[in-house]
Structure 1
Amino acid sequence: MDLKNLDWITIAKVVGLVAGGMMVAGAAFTWSGIYNVAASKDHLGITTWIFEVVRERSIAVRSLSIEVPPLGNEGMIRLGASHYEGGCVPCHGRPDEKTNPIVTGMLPPPPNLEDVSKRRPPEEIFWIVKHGIKYTGMPAWPNPQRDDEIWAMTAFLANMPSSPSGYSDLARLTRDPVDNGEGLANGRAFTRCGRCHENEGIGTNGDHIPRLAGLSEDYLLRSLQEYARRTRASGAMEPVADLLDDSGMRGLAAYYAELRPVVKKSSAAHDPEQIRRGKAIANSGIPQQQVPACMSCHSGRQSHQFPLLAGQHAAYIAGQLRLWQKGGRGQTAYGRIMAAVARALDERQIEDVAAYLASLPSGYAQTAPLAEVGR
């Protein structure tokens, strides 16, 4: 056949016939059921190669624009370890621990993550944790609004200890679970709370986790209800609240409301100037920025729906204010109030007021009028 004498119409017909034949063959292959989709049978070599190339290129391209924050903060790492223990261990296991036999039947099997930081940069780890991966069993983070939680998980995976003892310390596996005796689902939720938050005589697992001891029962109950309704975003707390029925929520709120705050360990001296600036914001607000005094709601003299902030971790307070700034906690009436306040603050003001509130005794309720406290 003389290709020079073929016109473009003929070429188009040939290409169309070939394409049509391929489509017919593909349809026949699909409907025939010949391809074995059982997890007990590995893919064809070419299928595995295609999946791996598509996966790796997709992750690399979509994570290019992600800016990585500092990941060495111990509080972030501990928070990530607590999340890992609660959600990732069933598939990925703990350091130096045998893989669950049930998980070995997955195709592809979940990778061992002890050395994931050597195989992937932090931005790729973050993207995978946030979005998950199709056809692997890797789910997306339960609530994609909470990048701070996902970065905590990334920080842990980037700094995962290789020894069981190091992991046990970060994930607080030696902590005794809270036993409320109210059924399996409620008991599981109580145990999960004890892994991160206070227990009898034990503080929180790091300064990125809020202190709950001594907060009002009304506030704690409302928080759990908001997590269960998905109106307060948290990929960590929503699954826990979902386990609880009404009696479980009330029991948990009552437990922490009655729990005595753990005496804080001495830490590095505060910057007196920062404390002075933070005290002014907390007690007098910033009128020119339309920022009200924090203590006008959070001093313990108002509604029990407002939590006491005295003695709360500075890192947690600052993190929540940033979350409100970004719209991550504006789905409720109370959240919208705080979102407007947070957006009016700059970064230094957030750090200042968080430092001042953290410097107060845990559970301290202000009884003097604000005008006197601000002096």
Structure 2
Amino acid sequence: MDLRNLHWTAVAKIVGLGAVLLVTAGVVFVWSGVYNVAASKDHLRITTWILTLIRERSIANRSFTIEVPPLDDDGMIRLGASHFEGACVACHNRPGEEINPIVSGMLPPPPDLMDIGKRRPPEEIFWIVKHGLKYTGMPAWPNTRRDEEVWAVTAFLASLPATAGNYPELAGLTRSQASSDERSVGGSALTACGRCHEREGTGTNGDRIPRLAGLPEAYLLRSLQEYAKGTRPSGAMEPVADLLSEDAMRELAAHYSALRPTAGNQSAPPDPEQLRRGEAIANRGIAHQGVPACLSCHSGRQSQQFPVLAGQHAEYIEEQIRLWRRGGRIGTPYGKIMTAVAGALDEAQIEDVAAYLGSLPPGRAAAPMTEVNR
């Protein structure tokens, strides 16, 4: 054996021995319990540096291709603030307030979000809200098929700190405090609903939140049941419905069905031509695209399982049709029906029919026309 072979044999033995020793040391380190995993004990500096670097590079890499929609919409910010109040305040607290001393003992502790819009671009905020972060206590969004809900929270966070002073109003807290209509249903359940949906004599907290007043009781009950089962996806509504008993669902459905619908201001004056096109779709459908008349089911004269759409927020109708079109509400028999219909509509037709339905008096039972739009 020449010297060269002897040299490489020795190197291989040394490397192998080093690997064995390294593995052995690792096993001893893990099984000995010498590393302190207590949240009361901070990481070593090198550990913190490595974890931070891995986290930041992972977030940046995975959010790089995300396209950011306009985030300055008031309805979107209100929806995000309302959900933040219900799901995020427990750890992050309200803007401008100190973090809860209990959760401040987490490692790492929940960050102060007052300047999150300055520290991170919107696409990174969106990715974190949607997917959560391992080993931090930050959960993923309850249902990752509802990007528009995640964007709403992103819009609210990106609006800070400018909107911090108006947070109680944006999050619906002032609506809950000013209302006294909790006598017919368990107070806590109705308070939670009322931050977003109608109270007696008031509208919803923004145009991205559906009007429930006057909708069929059977439809409202089924919706809550589907949210609770997870067959109707919503990161905002699934956690709420999951906490409700069957009796509470029935009481809430009856309560909102009995409320008198209130007219609300449209975000912009409707375009007459757009209303004309939307009226044709809603009343007559589009036969060559396989689209039936919306009001053949949603006029308030058919099954109580179908919601009346007259006076519903146009923005909400648009978003739900888009959700059906991308298969986000296909988990129920009724959802399968609407998925097929929505898939046959193009973007302009969605906006037209939503604008027309939103322009009608709230809760109006409209009689559909039978002629089909050719």
TM-score range, shorter chain: over 0.9
Q: Deviations over 1:60-114 (max 9, x none)?
A: 1111121111111111111001110110111111121122111111111100111
Q: Where in structure 2 are the equivalents of 1:335-346 lying within 5 Å?
A: 335-346=335-346
The CA deviation at 1:46 is 1.0
Alpha-carbon distance in structure 1 between the residues aligned to 2:52 and 2:266: 51
| Match in the other structure for 1:232 | 232
| Match in the other structure for 1:327 | 327
Alpha-carbon distance in structure 2 between the residues aligned to 1:267 and 1:134: 40
| Match in the other structure for 2:86 | 86
Kindly indicate whether the alpha-carbon contact (under 8 Å) linking 1:217 and 1:257 is maintained by their aligned counterparts in 2.
yes
Instruction: Please say if 1:292 is aligned against 2:295.
Output: no
Alpha-carbon distance in structure 2 between the residues aligned to 1:299 and 1:69: 33
Alpha-carbon distance in structure 2 between the residues aligned to 1:329 and 1:134: 28
Kindly indicate whether the alpha-carbon contact (under 8 Å) linking 1:108 and 1:136 is maintained by their aligned counterparts in 2.
yes
Identity %: 68
Report the more deviating stretch, 345-354 or 31-40.
Answer: 31-40
| Match in the other structure for 1:260 | 260
DSSP-derived class of the 1:198 partner = coil
Alpha-carbon distance in structure 1 between the residues aligned to 2:254 and 2:225: 14
Q: Deviations over 1:252-311 (max 9, x none)?
A: 000000011122236532100000000000000000100000001000110000000000
DSSP-derived class of the 1:43 partner = coil
The CA deviation at 1:317 is 0.1
Q: Where in structure 2 are the equivalents of 1:1-375 lying within 5 Å?
A: 7-162=7-162, 164-176=164-176, 179-180=182-183, 187-265=187-265, 268-367=268-367, 370-371=369-370
DSSP-derived class of the 2:40 partner = coil
Q: Deviations over 1:158-184 (max 9, x none)?
A: 1124465311121121112663576xx
- The runs of 5 or more residues in structure 1 that have no matched partner are none
Kindly indicate whether the alpha-carbon contact (under 8 Å) linking 2:39 and 2:105 is maintained by their aligned counterparts in 1.
yes
Alpha-carbon distance in structure 1 between the residues aligned to 2:64 and 2:96: 32
Kindly indicate whether the alpha-carbon contact (under 8 Å) linking 2:213 and 2:257 is maintained by their aligned counterparts in 1.
yes
Give the counterpart letter for 2:363 in structure 1: G
Give the counterpart letter for 1:295 in structure 2: L
Give the counterpart letter for 2:229 in structure 1: R
Kindly indicate whether the alpha-carbon contact (under 8 Å) linking 1:114 and 1:162 is maintained by their aligned counterparts in 2.
no
Q: Deviations over 1:319-372 (max 9, x none)?
A: 0000001111000000000000001000000000000000000000024x5148
Alpha-carbon distance in structure 2 between the residues aligned to 1:200 and 1:222: 23
Q: What RMSD in Å do the two structures reach over aligned CA positions? A: 1.8
DSSP-derived class of the 1:35 partner = coil
Kindly indicate whether the alpha-carbon contact (under 8 Å) linking 1:284 and 1:293 is maintained by their aligned counterparts in 2.
yes
Distance 1:331 1:180, change over 3 A: farther
With normalisation by structure 1, the TM-score equals 0.94
Q: How many residues align?
A: 368
Alpha-carbon distance in structure 2 between the residues aligned to 1:238 and 1:162: 30
Alpha-carbon distance in structure 1 between the residues aligned to 2:45 and 2:150: 34
Kindly indicate whether the alpha-carbon contact (under 8 Å) linking 2:169 and 2:175 is maintained by their aligned counterparts in 1.
no
With normalisation by structure 2, the TM-score equals 0.94
Alpha-carbon distance in structure 2 between the residues aligned to 1:301 and 1:167: 40
Q: Deviations over 1:122-154 (max 9, x none)?
A: 111111001111110000001111111001111
Give the counterpart letter for 1:179 in structure 2: E
Kindly indicate whether the alpha-carbon contact (under 8 Å) linking 2:286 and 2:372 is maintained by their aligned counterparts in 1.
no
Give the counterpart letter for 1:221 in structure 2: L
DSSP-derived class of the 1:205 partner = coil
Alpha-carbon distance in structure 2 between the residues aligned to 1:217 and 1:208: 21
Distance 1:16 1:321, change over 3 A: same
The CA deviation at 1:49 is 0.9
Alpha-carbon distance in structure 1 between the residues aligned to 2:183 and 2:45: 52
Kindly indicate whether the alpha-carbon contact (under 8 Å) linking 1:189 and 1:241 is maintained by their aligned counterparts in 2.
no
Alpha-carbon distance in structure 1 between the residues aligned to 2:174 and 2:47: 44
Give the counterpart letter for 1:289 in structure 2: Q
Kindly indicate whether the alpha-carbon contact (under 8 Å) linking 1:329 and 1:339 is maintained by their aligned counterparts in 2.
yes
Alpha-carbon distance in structure 2 between the residues aligned to 1:350 and 1:266: 17
Kindly indicate whether the alpha-carbon contact (under 8 Å) linking 1:189 and 1:243 is maintained by their aligned counterparts in 2.
no
Alpha-carbon distance in structure 2 between the residues aligned to 1:43 and 1:173: 38
Give the counterpart letter for 1:28 in structure 2: V
Give the counterpart letter for 2:106 in structure 1: M
Kindly indicate whether the alpha-carbon contact (under 8 Å) linking 1:180 and 1:190 is maintained by their aligned counterparts in 2.
no
Alpha-carbon distance in structure 2 between the residues aligned to 1:324 and 1:266: 24
DSSP-derived class of the 1:8 partner = helix
DSSP-derived class of the 1:370 partner = coil
Distance 1:267 1:226, change over 3 A: closer
Alpha-carbon distance in structure 2 between the residues aligned to 1:99 and 1:350: 43
Distance 1:329 1:258, change over 3 A: same
The CA deviation at 1:230 is 0.5
Give the counterpart letter for 2:265 in structure 1: K
Report the more deviating stretch, 15-24 or 346-355.
Answer: 15-24
